[in-house]
């Protein structure tokens, strides 16, 4: 159950490659309820954000009809509140987008039985030809087709809002289309497209929440949309069948041309991957950040509280510390100050993370020596973008 055709096809491929029969699909919450009553499947996967009846409401309706229904909620949102709401609605498991085969199958095992059937096991699901984005070759055309559809919806919504900034339906259409496009980018590991999509989604969300879109705001939105179109349509290099070569993020035509024009012998020697220490007492946040950082090629270590984080930072001297503010034993601000006072970690980059969006908290973080700050709930792509920016500035200073 997902309003994105692309997301449905992606998940169906994972399930079918593992020998699991997919008996139906639906594109919105109302259809999900009807399809469940018609098909009575063993398991339902339910996206949270869908037009009309959302995933949580559909989950509650299905469980009202059949308390034994096994529902796995899927979402690109990774904050604890989202997971809690899914659990309270009756979901038995939660899977974070972008989909990973092992995570999907693990969720299925958890809801079906303590001893899963033999066919529910990792298979050759990810060995098919893929594009540079990690996208199966046969889905590359589907990605472009749905992306163009969402872009067309965005164009129409912007035109409507220019004529009538108070049109709430157009604002909703704009937000849903941008949300779908950003989710597709995250799912296919197109981090450049996802980063732009995240910014646009935050703006579109403000329009939905009642901020009147001005002409200047819509013009800026349209300018960013041109970048999105360029990234969507950028050619993607292909990887041979069975190849284990990691996918490279998409680059703009200008950067591709620049690289192509450079002679091979002038290429710089490969650099050591950046070392990142993630310090957070929340296990889910640690796992999500570790997954996304590993995907970018970073070497990641974790710490579960402030004292452990301080010890590992002084011992390992990472390039970047992603540091939660609220932790047991030793607060993030205290860790930050201690890192700045220690000669081995005086210059380490520090990105602080917290659920508090208060000016006083931000000022105390910067006063303690933080280089940047991000507020939970966050999009993993935003954290990665901020980490890249900090590391890039540090390299230029050297």
pLDDT of residue 321: 96
pLDDT band at 78 (very low <50, low <70, confident <90, very high): low
pLDDT mean over 272-291: 85
Cα–Cα distance between 314 and 324 in angstroms, integer? Answer: 17
Look at residue 333 in the predicted model and tell me its pLDDT: 92
Structure token digits, residue 283:
């296990």
Residue appearing with tokens 């705001």: 217
CA–CA dist 10, 189 (Å, integer): 13
What pLDDT is attached to residue 98? 66
pLDDT at 249: 43
Tell me, what's the pLDDT at 135? Answer: 45
Range list of β-strands (E), the chain: 44-47, 71-75, 93-96, 130-131, 238-239, 275-279, 299-303, 320-324, 349-354, 372-375
Tokens read off for 287:
């796992």
Q: Minimal CA–CA distance to 121: which of 134, 141, 104?
A: 104
Q: How far apart are CA 280 and CA 268, in angstroms?
A: 35
Question: Is residue 33 within 8 Å of residue 46, measured between CB atoms?
Answer: no
Local confidence band at 7 (pLDDT 50, 70, 90 cut-offs): confident
| CATH fold for the domain made of 275-397 | Rossmann fold (3.40.50)
Comparing 5-123 with 139-233, is the CATH topology the same? no
Per-residue pLDDT tens digits for 364-391? 888 889 999 888 777 778 888 889 989 9
pLDDT of 264 higher than 70 = no
For residue 139, the model assigns a pLDDT of 53
- Annotated domain spans of the chain: 5-123, 139-233, 275-397
- Average pLDDT over all residues of the chain: 77
Fold of 139-233: 1.20.120
**Mean pLDDT of the 287-298 span:** 84
Instruction: Convert the pLDDT of each residue in 214-242 to its tens digit.
Output: 888 888 888 888 888 888 877 554 333 33
Pairing between β-strand 238-239 and β-strand 130-131 as defined by DSSP bridges: antiparallel
pLDDT value of position 237: 43
Q: What is the pLDDT of residues 299-319, one digit of tens each?
A: 999 999 999 999 999 988 999
Longest Cα separation, the chain = 67
Q: What is the pTM of this model?
A: 0.41
Three-state secondary structure call for residue 120: coil
| pLDDT per position as a tens digit, 14-49 | 888 778 889 988 877 778 888 898 899 999 999 887
pLDDT at 240: 33
Per the CB < 8 A criterion, the answer to whether 55 and 47 are in contact is yes
- Average pLDDT of the segment spanning 159-176: 86
Residue 335 pLDDT > 90: yes
Q: Show the CA angle centred on residue 248, arms to residues 245 and 254, nearest 5°.
A: 140
CB atoms within 10 A of CB 136: 19
Residue 48 to residue 1: CA distance in whole angstroms: 9
The rounded percent of the chain whose pLDDT value lies above 70 is 79
CA distances from 15 to 89, 120, 131, 250 (A): 24, 9, 20, 27
Res. 279: pLDDT tops 90? yes
Which CATH number is 5-123's, of 3.40.50.300, 3.40.50.2300, 3.40.605.10, 3.30.450.40?
3.40.50.2300
| Mean pLDDT to the nearest integer, 91-96 | 85
Spatial separation of the C-alpha atoms in residues 154 and 161, rounded to whole Å: 10
Tell me, what's the pLDDT at 116? 40
**What is the reported pLDDT for 397?**
73
DSSP 179-196: HHHHHHHHHTT-HHHHHH
Q: What is the pLDDT of residue 89?
A: 85
Say if residue 118's pLDDT is above 80: no
Best CA proximity match to 240, nearest among 151, 111, 137: 137
Q: Who wins on pLDDT, 254 or 103?
A: 103
Q: How confident is the model at residue 349 (pLDDT cuts 50, 70, 90)?
A: very high
Rounded Cα distance, 386 and 392, in Å? 10
Residue whose structure tokens are 């990641």: 300
């Amino acid at each position: 159950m997902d309003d994105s055709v692309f997301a449905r096809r992606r998940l169906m491929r994972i399930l079918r490659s593992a020998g699991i029969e997919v008996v139906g699909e639906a594109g919105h919450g109302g259809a999900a309820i009807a399809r469940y009553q018609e098909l009575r499947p063993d398991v339902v996967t339910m996206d949270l954000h869908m037009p009309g009846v959302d995933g949580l409401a559909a989950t509650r309706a299905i469980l009202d009809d059949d308390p034994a229904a096994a529902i796995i909620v899927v979402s690109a949102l990774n904050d604890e509140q989202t997971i809690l709401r899914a659990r309270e609605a009756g979901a038995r498991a939660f899977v974070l987008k972008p989909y990973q085969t092992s995570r999907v199958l693990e969720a299925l095992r958890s809801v079906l039985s303590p001893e899963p059937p033999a066919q529910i096991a990792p298979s050759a699901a990810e060995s098919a030809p893929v594009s540079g984005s990690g996208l199966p070759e046969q889905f590359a055309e589907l990605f472009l087709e749905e992306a163009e559809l969402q872009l067309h919806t965005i164009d129409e919504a912007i035109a409507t809002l220019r004529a009538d900034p108070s049109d709430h339906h157009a604002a909703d259409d704009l937000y849903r289309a941008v949300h779908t496009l950003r989710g597709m980018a995250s799912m296919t590991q197109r981090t450049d497209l996802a980063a732009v999509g995240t910014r646009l989604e935050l703006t579109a969300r403000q329009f939905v929440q009642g901020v009147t879109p001005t002409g200047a705001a819509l013009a800026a939105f349209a300018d960013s949309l041109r970048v999105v179109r360029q990234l969507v349509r950028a050619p993607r290099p292909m990887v041979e069948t069975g190849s284990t070569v990691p996918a490279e993020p998409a680059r703009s035509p200008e950067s591709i041309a620049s690289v192509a024009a450079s002679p091979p012998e002038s290429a710089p020697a490969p650099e050591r991957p950046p070392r990142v220490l993630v310090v957070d007492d929340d296990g889910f946040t640690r796992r999500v950040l570790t997954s996304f950082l590993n995907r970018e090629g970073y070497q990641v270590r974790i710490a579960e509280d402030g004292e452990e984080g301080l010890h590992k930072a002084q011992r390992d001297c990472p390039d970047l510390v992603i540091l939660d503010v609220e932790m047991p034993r030793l607060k993030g601000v205290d860790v930050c100050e201690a890192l700045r006072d220690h000669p081995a970690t005086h210059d380490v980059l520090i990105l602080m993370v917290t659920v508090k969006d208060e000016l006083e908290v931000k000022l105390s973080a910067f006063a303690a020596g933080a280089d940047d700050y991000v507020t939970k709930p966050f999009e993993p792509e935003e954290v990665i973008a901020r980490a890249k920016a900090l590391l890039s500035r540090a390299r230029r200073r050297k």
